[in-house]
Amino acid sequence: MAQVTAPKGTQDILPKDSGRWQRVEAIIRELCAQYGFKEIRTPVFEHTEVFVRGVGETTDVVTKEMYTFEDKGGRSVTLRPEGTAGIVRAFVENGLFNEALPAKLYYMIQCFRYEKPQKGRLREFHQFGIELFGAADPIADATVISMPYRLFKRVGLGGISLQINSIGCRECRARYREALIAYFEKDRERLCPTCQERLEKNPMRILDCKSEICRRVAEQAPLITDYLCPDCDAHFSAVKKYLDVMGIAYQVNPRIVRGLDYYNRTVFEFISDQIGAQGTVCGGGRYDGMTEQFGGGPQPGIGFAMGMERFMLVLEQAGVELPAERDCDLFLIPLGERAVQEAVRLTALLTESGSRVQYDLMARSVKAQMKYADRIGAACTAVLGDSELEEGAVVVKNMADGRQEKVALDALSSKWLEGFCK
């Protein structure tokens, strides 16, 4: 039969790589715990409405990139293209606003977007992100921004710049919008067709366009930072002040507007210059009042999402090594049925006390078993034959340095192994 391949824009994470993913995920989970964030798991698919309300009708994500289909009951459902909308839905629906505030939530999920696949851009990809509900104070913004910063620092990653901006409140943006429309109107025909449409619906999005011409047209465009009301201006100054206190370097980039509709005030991106055009590893911002889109009371909210594939790419590019665990402490090689039984018994004991012990499952020769032990990276091997059984002792070999040591079978404990493997 012909082979079946994975859908375009998806990728398998194979056993040779999944350990690296797990190590990064473990570091992330520990960081979240340090900041007091707890994991939230929401459905992979939601009513399409959730994303239309939560991401925004005029966004690329909603207009072009969603995997939307009718289920057998005739409902329109969508595979989540991002994490925030579903979490805001869950926050309101489950009354999390009644629990201790601020609510500190994090997620590690798969997302789905119908995009043109390229390096760092997939149709199924992974995001780690956090959402903080209930805190309007600028100290919350700075604290949230400090999390990806700490993560990069913890894994020893340099070369990632933090860019921040404020896109103000509704009033600031109404005035800015006028100015932008007046500016782009002059060069209307030069803009790409999508941006010509954006000019009416959401002119700020033109600043986010990746087309070279639109970028050039936008070069002299008015800057949102010149249109901030006193409150938004003070908020932005305070965010910068707290970042300074934390010793976190940043650049103010008034062109960062972010792709999703729901942002207000603080927006930010962490950008790597190591992985080409898809350099934004992490993006986020404030989305006060989004809870109201889901029938809840008004709540301040702020969060970010990090593209895990891009993060893994940057780590690889930078040659960051994360200490790996040992896959196998001991590989037992029994000769004959009695020895096989003894190996099974020993393995059970050592597994109970925490060691990673394996033995052959394919009735292979000693030589083939040795080769296998080597391939799986076993720290030690031990051949168990009749004479070993009679003597009640076995020679354990350290595969890294060739050291051998005879140990009594009833003294072969996890603790002994730990000491010998070192």
Name the site residues for ligand ATP (rule: CB under 6 A): 82, 113, 115, 120-122, 125, 127, 259-260, 278, 280-283, 305, 307, 309-310
Tell me how far apart the alpha carbons of residues 119 and 309 are, in angstroms, rounded to a whole number: 9
Tell me how far apart the alpha carbons of residues 197 and 154 are, in angstroms, rounded to a whole number: 43
| Shortest Cβ 401–ligand ATP spacing (Å) | 42
Q: Which residue, 56 or 120, is less far from ligand ATP as judged by CB?
A: 120
| Shortest Cβ 175–ligand ATP spacing (Å) | 25
Q: Which residue, 125 or 227, is less far from ligand ATP as judged by CB?
A: 125
| Shortest Cβ 343–ligand ATP spacing (Å) | 46
Place of tokens 């070192």: 422
| Shortest Cβ 59–ligand ATP spacing (Å) | 9
Exposed/middle/buried for 381, CB within 10 Å: 0-12, 13-18, 19+? buried
Structure tokens at 38: 């707890």
Beta bridge partners of 396: 382, 405
Radius of gyration, CA atoms only, the chain: 28
Exposed/middle/buried for 42, CB within 10 Å: 0-12, 13-18, 19+? buried
Tell me how far apart the alpha carbons of residues 39 and 148 are, in angstroms, rounded to a whole number: 16
Q: Which residue, 208 or 342, is less far from ligand ATP as judged by CB?
A: 208
Q: Which residue, 86 or 334, is less far from ligand ATP as judged by CB?
A: 86
| Shortest Cβ 128–ligand ATP spacing (Å) | 9
Tell me how far apart the alpha carbons of residues 95 and 324 are, in angstroms, rounded to a whole number: 41
| Shortest Cβ 349–ligand ATP spacing (Å) | 46
Choose among 303, 260, 294, 262: nearest CA to 46. 294
Choose among 112, 113, 94: nearest CA to 44. 112
Q: Which residue, 72 or 210, is less far from ligand ATP as judged by CB?
A: 210
Tell me how far apart the alpha carbons of residues 294 and 90 are, in angstroms, rounded to a whole number: 9
Choose among 209, 219, 239, 419: nearest CA to 329. 419
Q: Which residue's Cβ lies closest to ligand ATP?
A: 307
Q: Which residue, 171 or 316, is less far from ligand ATP as judged by CB?
A: 316
| Shortest Cβ 281–ligand ATP spacing (Å) | 5
Q: Which residue, 260 or 394, is less far from ligand ATP as judged by CB?
A: 260
